[in-house]
Amino acid sequence: MTTDEIIDLLTEAYIDELETVMNYRTNAIVLDGIHAEEVKESLEADIQEELDHARILGERLKQLDESPPGSEAFEANQHSLQPPEDTTDVQSVIDGVLEAEEAAIETYRSLVEAADDANDPVTEDVAVTILADEEAHRTEFRGFQKEFPMD
Ligand SMILES: [Fe+2]
Ligand SMILES: [Fe+2]
């Protein structure tokens, strides 16, 4: 059975995915320098996945007789993912991505739990599937963090 908690988490996750798309999109454009190329390519790939997550979440909301939100519900949270003043500061983007992925992982873990408690296996499956993608993104950017030590 659907609960308010499930609807709230699906809605929050939907908005977060779209904020992630915006910031990954921007950072994949603005970064400069020899260290930036791999990170930009990785962001390009992740943009498509995050956009797909938003679609899956929105469709689940629709199935639960709810609507995904429009832009008026939007409130920005990803302060650490704003394009860096120094466009060669790849490290700041890596840190921001890791923070965003950690936040997403936390949200999907909460959704898995809420869906399990409410005996809603379809929402649980959605949350587990997306959670696996976010953990893969985190692993990828942890790798970048090792490769580009802070200087
Ligand atoms: Fe995502
Ligand atoms: Fe992600």
Domain ranges (residues) in the chain: 4-72+83-147
Average pLDDT over residues 39-64: 98
The confidence score (pLDDT) of residue 150 equals: 56
**Inter-helix orientation angle 36-63/90-117, to 10°:** 20
Domain 4-72+83-147 in CATH 3.20.20.100:
no
- Which pLDDT band, with edges at 50, 70 and 90, does 151 fall under? low
Residue 122 confidence (pLDDT) above 70: yes
How many whole angstroms separate alpha carbon 56 and alpha carbon 36? Answer: 30
Residue 2 confidence (pLDDT) above 90: no
Rounded to the nearest whole angstrom, what is the distance from the C-alpha of residue 121 to the centroid of ligand 2? 22
Most confident range, picked from 1-10, 46-55, 139-148? 46-55
- Which pLDDT band, with edges at 50, 70 and 90, does 147 fall under? confident
The environment of the single-atom ion ligand 2, i.e. residues with CB closer than 5 A, is 134, 137
Rounded to the nearest whole angstrom, what is the distance from the C-alpha of residue 137 to the centroid of ligand 1? 9
Torsional sign, CA 14, 138, 96, 45: negative
Nearest ligand to the C-alpha atom of residue 51: 1
The confidence score (pLDDT) of residue 149 equals: 60
How many whole angstroms separate alpha carbon 32 and alpha carbon 115? Answer: 42
